[in-house]
């Protein structure tokens, strides 16, 4: 197994630890979850860079890299709903969009076509990551190590989860819906081929 694929597998394992950290109520859960999520995000960047630069792109990587990304983000979003930091319907829209795009890709692949990620889809992913990191930082700020952040940043209403956090969430939701509709519009021939 090459290095990019090892990083992908490591990210999947990190996701398990991330879920465990936020699922168990203990004194350092937010801090540990934030650190794990940041490490996982870094592995996501490096596995793609290494695969492209060293020409180590494999079928395993093509399948597992985006799948593991979706598992990590979906797990984070669901756990943040459980902590009442995100609206449930936002996460339903995000997960629904991922099913839609994955279904489009499968339909296109059966016809020998490739539905690649577009710029808006990449921005959607960035906003999801920023939203999750912001909210995990808020959780970590409720704990001893990052407690100073709570007093320095999150006490300001505009910078709280109900202020800036909701702005990030709404931006994520908007990009999710617009990019999902964009994928449908660009690939309507795949969907309507047999109608």
DSSP 104-170: HHHHHHHTT------HHHHHHHHHHHHHHHHHHHHHHHTSSTTHHHIIIIITSGGGSIIIIIHHHHH
Of 154 and 192, more confident: 154
Does the pLDDT of residue 117 top 80, yes or no? no
Maximal C-alpha separation, the chain: 59
Measured CA to CA, the distance from residue 124 to residue 177 in angstroms comes to 9
pLDDT of residue 60: 81
pLDDT of residue 85: 96
As given in the structure block, the two tokens for residue 189 are 């021939």
As given in the structure block, the two tokens for residue 106 are 């499968």
Measured CA to CA, the distance from residue 171 to residue 7 in angstroms comes to 29
Does the pLDDT of residue 120 top 80, yes or no? yes
Does the pLDDT of residue 116 top 70, yes or no? no
Q: Which long-range contacts (CB under 8 A, 24 or more apart) does 160-166 make?
A: 161/85, 161/134, 161/135, 164/134, 165/85, 165/131, 165/134, 165/135, 165/138
Fold of 3-191: 1.20.120
Residue 151 pLDDT grade (very low, low, confident, very high; cuts 50, 70, 90): confident
- Helix, strand, coil share of the chain (percent; to 5): 80, 0, 20
Of 16 and 46, more confident: 16
Q: What is the pLDDT of residues 52-104, one digit of tens each?
A: 888 888 888 877 888 899 999 999 999 999 999 999 999 999 999 988 888 88
pLDDT of residue 195: 56
Of 5 and 194, more confident: 5
pLDDT of residue 194: 64
pLDDT of residue 104: 83
Of 27 and 114, more confident: 27
Measured CA to CA, the distance from residue 123 to residue 121 in angstroms comes to 5
Residue 193 pLDDT grade (very low, low, confident, very high; cuts 50, 70, 90): low
Measured CA to CA, the distance from residue 128 to residue 135 in angstroms comes to 11
Q: Which residues contact 33 (CB under 8 A, 6 or more apart)?
A: 18, 21, 22, 79, 136, 139, 140
pLDDT of residue 121: 83
């Amino acid at each position: 197994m090459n290095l990019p694929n090892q990083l992908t597998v490591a990210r999947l394992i990190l996701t398990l630890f991330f879920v465990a950290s936020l699922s168990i109520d203990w004194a350092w859960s937010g801090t540990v979850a934030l650190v794990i999520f940041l490490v996982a995000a870094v592995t996501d960047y490096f596995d793609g860079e290494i695969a492209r630069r060293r020409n180590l792109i494999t079928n395993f990587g093509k399948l597992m890299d985006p799948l593991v990304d979706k598992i990590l983000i979906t797990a984070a979003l669901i756990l943040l709903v459980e902590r009442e930091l995100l609206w449930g319907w936002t996460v339903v829209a995000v997960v629904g969009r991922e099913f839609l795009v994955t279904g489009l890709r499968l339909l296109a692949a059966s016809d020998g076509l490739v539905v690649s990620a577009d710029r808006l889809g990449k921005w959607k992913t960035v906003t999801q990551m920023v939203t999750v990191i912001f909210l995990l930082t808020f959780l970590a700020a409720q704990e001893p190590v990052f407690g100073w952040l709570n007093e320095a940043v999150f006490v300001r209403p505009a910078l709280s989860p109900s202020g800036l956090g909701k702005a990030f969430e709404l931006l994520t939701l908007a990009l999710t819906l617009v990019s999902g509709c964009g994928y449908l519009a660009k690939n309507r021939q795949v969907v309507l081929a047999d109608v």
